[in-house]
Each structure stands twice: as structure tokens, then as C-alpha cells.
Amino acid sequence: MDRDDTTLRVLSTSDLAGLDITLADVVDTVEQACRTLAAGRSDNPRKLTVKPADGHSVSYAMLGRDGAREVVAVKTSYKHGLGESRDKQHYYTTLTIYDDVTGLPVAMMDCSRIGSLRTPAVSALLARECAAPGATTALVIGTGTQGRLALPFLLTTLPGLKRLMLSGSHPDGLTAVRAELARHFPDRDIELVTDLTRAAREADVIVATAGAHTSAAIEAENLKPGATAILVGHGLAPSVLHRADRVIATSEAQMHVTGTDMADAEGNFPPVDLELPVIVSGVSKARTAPQQRIFAYNSGLVVTDIALGHRFAQLAAEQNLGTEVALWR
């Protein structure tokens, strides 16, 4: 079917699963999106949030424009059963992209794989920019979707890491983390830790990806001088944020929306020193002294989803994947 203004390429979970993309390609795509945003050529408005009073679900809507790729997109995210275990939750996320040069729709896709790659890539960029010189030890907390790719992406941006530690409680998750690392870095191994406090005191870089029900909560006093602590999900106590020497975020506005559990008793946050797009653009440095303890908040930027989603749409079109739907006919 010829593409026109009535048809839309729909890419399913299985369509996207069959596409190969390197970790370096993902990092480069995400970094370019951040640079373009910092240059003022992209738009990344604050996300909209809807949550019922009883907290059983949460919904997000995010609109953005990537100025480098000249595309506009809308991402939606809906999670149901927040009080349930992960296997009982329902989660759906989509990304719909439009070409802002031709005015034609590009694709609508399941956004779960996009997010599963984008988020650890952003964490890896935060680690690269915030880690103290000579950082050699990394600790990942959690073995869910984000925990499984955290170490491969960290090794992509920080190849000097020598010691890789993992804290988790789910046997299947631990196995999955090992398998993912072996797939990308077959010569590397993971050290499972049971004493999280001790591991935190030895880590140069900590990436906390645990789920909401985790009992892990590293405190500020558990961090060594010069440590970088990156929060993606849960696993860090609010003191790590409030007592940090430097606070970095992908977006300060979004941290205030999604990071409310890190606020103080009055609901306040310390000011953010820098946002990631400014840092990767080279205008300012995240770290200004080797001994600084840095807290970094990874809340995601829709422009990075858009850039990576568009990259996947290009790869899918080259392989003629997806289903053309006459949506507006």
C-alpha cells in the first residue's frame, strides 16, 4: 500500500523485537536528542499526569518535537494495579510519530522496547558525565526491565569499569541480568551482593532501578566521597538527594512530577544544579570537584523517546515490517 495521509504504519511488540540495534547506536541517538534540545531546536513540554484518588493506576501523556529529525510525536503511558506485584500489573505505552516536513504520519508503535532502551542509555550518559575520574566500580539495585540493561549500557559509556555489583531478590531477574550482560559483554561477570550498605560504600556509580515495593534504601551516609547515585526507580533514600553536593536531572520539572517520594517533609526539593541536555552539549560540567557526591534523577525526556522511536521506524521501514492501516479513510 502506498503511503498517503490516510494510512499509518503500526509496529507491534513483535515487529520491534525483531530489529537489531547496537547499544552504541542507542546512546548516540539519545545523546543527539539531548544536544538538539539544549540547542533550542526541540520542544519537550512537561508531561501531563492523571492518577485516581486511591492510586490504583497512573497515566501520562507527553508531546514533543525533535528538531534534528524534524518529527512530532505523542507518547502515552498507562499502568494499572500499582499496589499489585509486577506480574499482576497492566502496562501499555504507545508512541505516534508524524513527519513535520511532509506532514505525513510515520508510525504508531508499542513504546515498551523504546523505553527499555532509552532509560538505561540516559542513565549511562548521566554516569559518564557525573562519575568521578577513574571510577571503576558500579552497583545496580534491582533486576527488573531497567536493571537488566543497566550494566551493558554503563560499560558502553564507561568502559573503564572493572567491578560490577548487583543487588536483587528475584531469582529470575538475577538470571536475566546475567544473561543480558553475557549477550553484550561475554567476558564480564557480575558480583551478587547481600550487604547493600557495604556495597554502596564501595561503589563509584550506583544506579537504583528497583520497584516500588523494594526494601532497599541507601542513605547519604552510605555513599563514598566522589560517588554518583542515579535514581531511575527506587532504592535510594531521600537523604541522598537532599545531602548531595550536586543535583543533576534530565528535567527538573519532571522530577517534581514523578519524584514526589524524594521530597522532604514539606514537599520540597533542593534546586537542580544542571540538566542533562546542557551537560552533554558541553556548556557546563556536572562535576566540579573529584570528592563531590552527586545525585542524578533520570525521569526521561520525551524527545529521547521520539528520536529512538523514529530510529526504530526507519529500521522497520527498511525491512518492510509493520501493518499499514487506513486509519483516516
Give the residue with greater pLDDT, 4 vs 120.
120
Tell me what pLDDT residue 278 has: 97
- Is the pLDDT at 3 greater than 70? The verdict is no
Give the residue with greater pLDDT, 209 vs 216.
209
Tell me what pLDDT residue 190 has: 96
- Is the pLDDT at 2 greater than 70? The verdict is no
- Is the pLDDT at 216 greater than 50? The verdict is yes
Q: How close are the terminal C-alpha atoms of the chain, in Å?
A: 13
Write down the H helix ranges in 3-111. 13-17, 23-38
For the segment 155-179, the average pLDDT, to the nearest whole number, is 95
Tell me what pLDDT residue 317 has: 93
Tell me what pLDDT residue 268 has: 93
Q: What is the pLDDT of residues 9-51, one digit of tens each?
A: 999 999 999 899 999 999 999 999 999 999 999 999 988 999 9
- Is the pLDDT at 326 greater than 80? The verdict is yes
Q: Are 253 and 271 in contact (CB under 8 A)?
A: no
- Is the pLDDT at 1 greater than 60? The verdict is no
For the segment 138-144, the average pLDDT, to the nearest whole number, is 95
In 3D, which of 309, 245, 308 has the Cα closest to residue 26?
308
Give the residue with greater pLDDT, 318 vs 85.
318
Q: What is the pLDDT of residues 51-67, one digit of tens each?
A: 999 999 999 999 999 99
Single-letter code of the amino acid located at 16: L
- Is the pLDDT at 162 greater than 90? The verdict is yes
Q: Are 291 and 52 in contact (CB under 8 A)?
A: no
Q: Are 77 and 93 in contact (CB under 8 A)?
A: yes
Cell of 220: 547519604
- Is the pLDDT at 154 greater than 70? The verdict is yes
- Is the pLDDT at 245 greater than 70? The verdict is yes
What is the rounded distance in angstroms from the CA atom of residue 130 to the CA atom of residue 118?
Answer: 18
β-bridge mates for residue 49, sequence order: 60
Model-wide pTM > 0.85: yes
- Is the pLDDT at 213 greater than 90? The verdict is no
For the segment 194-207, the average pLDDT, to the nearest whole number, is 97
- Is the pLDDT at 182 greater than 60? The verdict is yes
What is the rounded distance in angstroms from the CA atom of residue 134 to the CA atom of residue 53?
Answer: 47
Average pLDDT, the chain: 94
Q: What is the pLDDT of residues 273-282, one digit of tens each?
A: 999 999 999 9
Q: Are 63 and 48 in contact (CB under 8 A)?
A: no
For the segment 75-81, the average pLDDT, to the nearest whole number, is 96
Tell me what pLDDT residue 5 has: 87
